[in-house]
Amino acid sequence: MADRVTPGSAAARALYPITETTIFANHCAASPLSRRVTEAMGDWLNWWQLHGGRDDLERPFDAWRQNFATLIGAQPQEIAFTGNTSEGLLLVANGFPWQAGDAILTADGEFVANVYPWYQAELQGVEIIRLPLRENVLHLDQIETALRDHPNIRLVALSFVSFLTGQQLPLAALGALCHQYDAYLSIDAIQGAGAFPMDVGASQVDFLSAGGPKWLMGPIGAGFFYCREALLPMLRPRHHGWLSVDDPSRYLDYHRPLSETASRFEPGTSPWLSLVGLNASVKTLHEVGIDAIAAHISLLGDTMRQGLTARGYELALPDDVLRGGIVAFRHAERDATTIVQALDSHHVTTSAREGWIRFAPHFYNTVDEVERTLALL
């Protein structure tokens, strides 16, 4: 019997050929693919090459929806397939029933993907309120004060984990706060989904969007969107296409009602090949267990932070702030890009953003790899 795939184990590393050549710690950019992902996609392509589209083609969409739903504590009928994070955020920005005078609360330091969609709402007279960070950190009390001072805030739009600092927002506390002040909550989850547990039901998250290529370790081209079931009638599908309806196989009935599930947000054929790969990856993440993955990533992050502090590097976040999988750091005298390039020349992959170096390992990385990286710094 094959060895169990556990965080940092030989079995885990064997799934990722990149471990043979590289210390890869850039999952905040795009993950390398596992053997299982490329095999699943290869099998699918080979099958397609031999058979093409057939009426009896198996369509495993329900199982895939369940896969994503389990990841975030949702129901499969609350999941729509997308091509990336932005599509999900735009579904909210363009479909929410805005009224002039409404406001959206967001924060400085958000990745641009969670900025431009809200300008669509601004065009409809919606105000955008952007909270400043305090020493790189967004505090819940800032959000509470804003919600109290601006009763017109209808939506809070934030990232689960910051792409830049790695700060993780406590979703349960955030969701409770939003609902206390009658605001809806939209989460850009791409920097955390697959690495840290989420429970959209318990946390009262209303909308959630994530692309597959980062911590979900899928190929480029697929992602998912979650809409709380009770809000499906409220969020108008602006891209109403032939697959948005109930039973699209009634081809000549041109007045089908909208699907009662989140599939109403899928106008046409989904990015099938990328979804094959992404689902193979999500299955592996479930097999390892998101709690175990989170604990392992946190251990690697703590080890890195301690070593960086000992070497005189500055960390973006203080110790008492909840973190995701990104350790962001910098050096007083050496610029971030130079350090990233120096690491790269030793086959350690990281990335530089806005003067910070991001070190972002996943479940197959090891403490030994962290220590070898530190030795280069």
Ligand X SMILES: Cc1ncc(COP(=O)(O)O)c(C=O)c1O
Residues that bind ligand X (CB under 6 A): 84-86, 111, 113-114, 159, 163, 188, 190-191, 211, 223
In angstroms, what is the minimal distance from the CB of 337 to ligand X? 17
In angstroms, what is the minimal distance from the CB of 355 to ligand X? 16
- Radius of gyration, CA atoms only, the chain: 21
237, burial (CB in 10 Å: exposed 0-12, middle 13-18, buried 19+): buried
In angstroms, what is the minimal distance from the CB of 241 to ligand X? 20
Q: Are 335 and 305 in contact (CB under 8 A)?
A: no
d(CA 97, CA 238): 11
d(CA 122, CA 104): 9
Tokens of 107: 């924060």
In angstroms, what is the minimal distance from the CB of 179 to ligand X? 23
Buried (b) or exposed (e) across 29-46, using 16+ Cβ within 10 A? ebbbbbebbeebbeebee
In angstroms, what is the minimal distance from the CB of 243 to ligand X? 21
In angstroms, what is the minimal distance from the CB of 84 to ligand X? 3
Q: Which is nearer to ligand X, 12 or 340 (CB)?
A: 340
246 contacts: CB under 8 Å, gap ≥ 6: 256, 257, 258, 259, 260
d(CA 366, CA 297): 9
Backbone angles phi and psi of 130, in degrees to 5: -115, 115
Q: Are 212 and 281 in contact (CB under 8 A)?
A: yes
Q: Which is nearer to ligand X, 210 or 280 (CB)?
A: 210
Q: Are 184 and 154 in contact (CB under 8 A)?
A: yes
Q: Which is nearer to ligand X, 190 or 300 (CB)?
A: 190
In angstroms, what is the minimal distance from the CB of 114 to ligand X? 6
Q: Which is nearer to ligand X, 87 or 206 (CB)?
A: 87
Q: Which is nearer to ligand X, 12 or 189 (CB)?
A: 189
Q: Which is nearer to ligand X, 12 or 282 (CB)?
A: 282
d(CA 368, CA 15): 18
In angstroms, what is the minimal distance from the CB of 166 to ligand X? 11
∠ CA 26-28-32, rounded to 5°: 55
302 contacts: CB under 8 Å, gap ≥ 6: none
**DSSP-based three-state secondary structure for 23:** strand
Q: Which is nearer to ligand X, 348 or 360 (CB)?
A: 360
Q: Which is nearer to ligand X, 102 or 188 (CB)?
A: 188
Residue nearest to ligand X (CB): 211
Q: Which is nearer to ligand X, 259 or 281 (CB)?
A: 281
In angstroms, what is the minimal distance from the CB of 113 to ligand X? 3
Q: Cβ atoms within 10 A of the Cβ of 123, count?
A: 11
